[in-house]
Structure 1
């Protein structure tokens, strides 16, 4: 009887909460009086919350970028009022402002945000434009993520355009509707004089908003970006949007991307579009972020939504969410005709080589890398390469091997495409994300094969990749040779400025075993003052390997290298016993005598 009453109370509380939320009205107004000083002025109006106090919160991280960034640190001049009277407020946590509203029905909140960090995940404002990354701009009433809101943008006097994936409010210029705060926080806003153009693909209107200029060819981009969209849509069988926005920031040197529900923000190099490699690199970024439209945003690990915007959201499945997306970016470009088969195999071989030669891959699993993204992935230090592996890199190669295993097990009738489509539909039907066990179960259902050992080796384990075996299924011959045959390596990286300083040492290398430390200053090698040794070099970068110094390069495997260092003002003499390079160079080639079974696997694997 108590349990029934308890359940009834919970239901009544939920109904009451929903009724209150339905009455709440929230709107924002964002303006820019000092863009040259990198500020946005935000006004938040709340109506319908009649309590003694109201808590408003700003997210501490942004979905898709797994690091607590403490956006609230950029908020200034916070104030609140009701009926023209100032209200008392206080901060009750790092990202929560408590407003003592005295049951006022309407509250006006004002604050300024300093925005001067160039990246796809952080807000940036200057005299030329404003990029509003919503998690660092807007706030929500505590417990009311599902409440809708409207956003009005007032561009600076020299700006004329607003680009966003939010739905325009009819009849109101630069005013947009968000059905809930998850949508708002996932809808970046570009304000300025961006160059915009459109194309249609898979029945969806796509807009591209280019900031920063560049040597891009709009007509060429329209054709090739459409090809990528169509290949991605073909895998999943449907496109979930009617409109999609690419916000592209072109800088002297740019890169990176961040996915959103119906948009993405990309970083690019403004003068790289005319270069073939640069152009294909941009399309690869387009393919990666567009693939997230399904993988991550809808086909997602169960921990990634509904989001907790106050804390880390842990999952062991970023190797699928990001790693498989990295794998598919190359596959989409090949299927779209942007890569030929040799280029595609070169990308696959390079991806395998990255993990094969990774020291950290021997110590951290893909699942662990995913879980520890919050503390390691975005916060690498000088030793990270020795104890960790990127879930992008490891997930990419797991995708390669898994795809080939499925194609081989089904005699070329199924592939990872079928798994991704089925999991997307499952998430859509269940209206929730997947668990690791559910993803594994779907792989086994599609392939008809037990993947327990595969998971133990490559997902939760750190076994060496059996790349030759898996590529062999598709008639691809793989070989490996030493990266620098008969040449010794020290395993130390250096940075030159006013001094020559050690910035990293590889685990179990000559430098590691010999006791060379990060921050040691190199004074002499084999008794030769370092200035003399460097005089014979032609440095292409301020960062380089100790092996690049001719005095070292001329030595043999097994030789000793005497190193004089300065460590915190104290001179020391070390001896490094030079070792062979542990890294290998992978090569791939299509077997001209492949069997019909191998050809069937190759066709299904590549999709061509």
Structure 2
């Protein structure tokens, strides 16, 4: 039996190698990345373009990284751009911030060389130092304008002493550290880690998973393998299939770190190297794993129609990031609960925290959720001192919307279906059957199909409007309610103070005492009622609502006295509790929701 099984496996392997070799030979674009000065944070790139048929071509550097909705101007890090053919210089002209036009008449092949300064720590930007290199492809590789569909190869030449490369790109047999990308969307979605990372693997849902741990961390490999595998299995079960045969987690460790960025068959995570031994922080890390892995389906394949094919030159606007990110933010904690790493009470408390964050942010009254998605390019990643007054996050409010819809579907189907079923249907309908993204109305129709209800008013109130979420209606389906905790009315100034200078105002809440009196961001509070103070918040807590206080401030070096009438804090602390009398139907919804 073993011999019989080996024959088809060997045949498939030979075909795979033949296809890979053929693909490599057909690729007219080849990159080589080396590191002559890693200690100075440089990656050296060589781009060879063959089989040129035009008199001139233009090469471009992307301006943003998919999954991170901000124009990042990666070309600002390019230097020493040069072009040659057969060791002869080829003329070129820089024609835009991220574009170079090259005179290729009479040239069948050219080689472009350039250096990339790489010294920004994040999951979406490249970083090179003496110990390792992390290559975020949109900030490393250029493309030929009009040829995003072309295949390419990438060869990595590790620096002396570096021995490993981790990437989701397809390796080319018999060529060390050489990889194939079937098009530039795949290349730009395949980060590369080079160095001496600690690598281990696990199998889950029929997929081989590589985990590349960068820099030291106090982690238990066997525990991580078990828990990460459970996450993979639970999420794959939602969609009915796993679209990959190989997946890579690149985990960067810092003293204090976080965040992640999803890719087609990999992800990059930021983590604290000391977080694994702390139960709460370990739960958060698993939530991050669950979040980025869920994106494997939700956004990388099941996506708003605006998010693919990508325009790498400019913004790609969508009003649906509350689905792409918000639903994922709901599922990350839900999945961790489903693998029993959160208790049901802990999970409900996380929903409660999201509700409090949204309910108490004044921007929730100003910015609709769909607008928050559309304006991500100019607001989500560029917050300022007034953002809390004017914006709302599509992450936590989107998660609450997902929670409400999940409970509605469970209730209206009498516990037979959930949001899982809607997500699986949408994945099959748009990604697999139609091979495209969904429109606003199409995704709304899917939600209506499973909720068994018209969602026109729901969208008008909560997605395209700023009406307070009717959260109790949906919690009641599961025998729960949310209500305000009893609290003494405390005087409030309505400011936050700078983390680096506790006497300087960092933010002012709209319609607060400070707002109405005219205290400003960057005002330095020197004294209150004649008393020198370096802790205004603590001083105010000892006064009463409606008290008046004289603030001596320094504004741009000038002393000024402002009288402030203290008001009661407008913030409310809401708590989710069980209803006193719970019906059998409500118990069914609760059990389905929390998989009890």
Q: Under TM normalisation by the shorter chain, which class is it?
A: over 0.9
Q: Deviations over 1:235-269 (max 9, x none)?
A: 11111001110000001011000000000000000
Aligned to 2:238: 235
Check if 1:471 corresponds to 2:471. no
C-alpha distance in structure 2 between counterparts of 1:97 and 1:84, whole Å: 19
Aligned to 1:128: 131
Check if 1:442 corresponds to 2:436. no
C-alpha contact 1:304 1:315 (8 A) present in aligned 2: yes
C-alpha contact 1:53 1:103 (8 A) present in aligned 2: no
C-alpha distance in structure 2 between counterparts of 1:363 and 1:406, whole Å: 29
Select between 50-59 and 125-134 the one with higher mean Cα deviation.
50-59
Check if 1:168 corresponds to 2:171. yes
| Candidates 569, 588, 591, aligned match of 2:557 | 569
The Cα shift of 1:24 comes to: 6.2
C-alpha distance in structure 1 between counterparts of 2:190 and 2:580, whole Å: 49
C-alpha contact 1:299 1:424 (8 A) present in aligned 2: yes
Select between 189-198 and 332-341 the one with higher mean Cα deviation.
332-341
C-alpha distance in structure 1 between counterparts of 2:166 and 2:557, whole Å: 55
C-alpha distance in structure 1 between counterparts of 2:460 and 2:504, whole Å: 40
How well do the aligned residues superpose, as a CA RMSD in angstroms?
1.4
Aligned to 1:249: 252
| Candidates 37, 43, 47, aligned match of 1:44 | 47
Aligned to 1:560: 548
Select between 41-50 and 584-593 the one with higher mean Cα deviation.
584-593
Q: Deviations over 1:417-463 (max 9, x none)?
A: 11111111112210100011000101111222111111111110111
C-alpha distance in structure 1 between counterparts of 2:312 and 2:40, whole Å: 28
Q: Deviations over 1:314-372 (max 9, x none)?
A: 00000000000000001101111111111111111111111111111111011000000
The Cα shift of 1:499 comes to: 7.5
Q: Deviations over 1:267-306 (max 9, x none)?
A: 0000110010111110000000000000000010000000
Check if 1:183 corresponds to 2:186. yes
| Candidates 92, 96, 103, aligned match of 2:99 | 96
Check if 1:87 corresponds to 2:96. no
Aligned to 2:344: 341
Name the SS of the counterpart of 2:174 in structure 1: coil
C-alpha contact 2:27 2:153 (8 A) present in aligned 1: no
Aligned to 2:60: 57
C-alpha distance in structure 2 between counterparts of 1:237 and 1:114, whole Å: 42
C-alpha contact 1:525 1:562 (8 A) present in aligned 2: yes
The Cα shift of 1:178 comes to: 0.2
- Count how many residue pairs are aligned between Structure 1 and Structure 2: 571
Check if 1:149 corresponds to 2:152. yes
C-alpha contact 1:82 1:101 (8 A) present in aligned 2: no
The 1:560–1:464 alpha-carbon spacing in structure 2 relative to 1, beyond 3 Å, is: same
C-alpha distance in structure 2 between counterparts of 1:286 and 1:474, whole Å: 28
Check if 1:26 corresponds to 2:14. no
C-alpha contact 2:491 2:544 (8 A) present in aligned 1: yes
Structure 2, gaps ≥5 residues long: 1-24
Q: Deviations over 1:63-97 (max 9, x none)?
A: 00000000000011000011221001111011001
C-alpha distance in structure 1 between counterparts of 2:336 and 2:270, whole Å: 19
Check if 1:517 corresponds to 2:523. no
Select between 118-127 and 346-355 the one with higher mean Cα deviation.
346-355
Check if 1:265 corresponds to 2:289. no
Name the SS of the counterpart of 1:274 in structure 2: coil
C-alpha distance in structure 2 between counterparts of 1:246 and 1:499, whole Å: 39
The Cα shift of 1:416 comes to: 1.1
| Candidates 458, 468, 481, aligned match of 2:462 | 458
Q: How does 1:74-473 map to 2 (within 5 A)?
A: 74-427=77-430, 428-473=432-477
C-alpha distance in structure 1 between counterparts of 2:97 and 2:510, whole Å: 39
The Cα shift of 1:498 comes to: 6.5
The 1:497–1:377 alpha-carbon spacing in structure 2 relative to 1, beyond 3 Å, is: closer
C-alpha distance in structure 2 between counterparts of 1:553 and 1:443, whole Å: 47
C-alpha distance in structure 1 between counterparts of 2:45 and 2:490, whole Å: 61
Q: Deviations over 1:485-517 (max 9, x none)?
A: 221111011226568211110011000011001
C-alpha contact 2:405 2:451 (8 A) present in aligned 1: no
Name the SS of the counterpart of 2:422 in structure 1: helix
C-alpha distance in structure 2 between counterparts of 1:469 and 1:444, whole Å: 17
The 1:152–1:471 alpha-carbon spacing in structure 2 relative to 1, beyond 3 Å, is: same
C-alpha distance in structure 2 between counterparts of 1:356 and 1:234, whole Å: 33
C-alpha contact 1:468 1:478 (8 A) present in aligned 2: yes
C-alpha contact 1:562 1:575 (8 A) present in aligned 2: yes
Aligned to 2:589: 601
Name the SS of the counterpart of 1:391 in structure 2: coil
The 1:237–1:498 alpha-carbon spacing in structure 2 relative to 1, beyond 3 Å, is: closer
C-alpha distance in structure 2 between counterparts of 1:103 and 1:281, whole Å: 58
The 1:182–1:521 alpha-carbon spacing in structure 2 relative to 1, beyond 3 Å, is: same
The Cα shift of 1:470 comes to: 1.1
Select between 406-415 and 238-247 the one with higher mean Cα deviation.
406-415
The Cα shift of 1:573 comes to: 1.4
C-alpha distance in structure 2 between counterparts of 1:308 and 1:378, whole Å: 19
C-alpha contact 1:57 1:139 (8 A) present in aligned 2: yes
C-alpha distance in structure 1 between counterparts of 2:118 and 2:493, whole Å: 43
C-alpha distance in structure 2 between counterparts of 1:480 and 1:230, whole Å: 38
The 1:299–1:496 alpha-carbon spacing in structure 2 relative to 1, beyond 3 Å, is: closer
Structure 1, gaps ≥5 residues long: 1-21, 538-545
Any runs of at least 4 consecutive aligned residues in structure 1 with deviations exceeding 3 A, and if so which? 496-499, 590-593
C-alpha distance in structure 2 between counterparts of 1:125 and 1:118, whole Å: 9
Name the SS of the counterpart of 2:485 in structure 1: strand
Name the SS of the counterpart of 2:573 in structure 1: strand
| Candidates 493, 497, 500, aligned match of 1:494 | 497
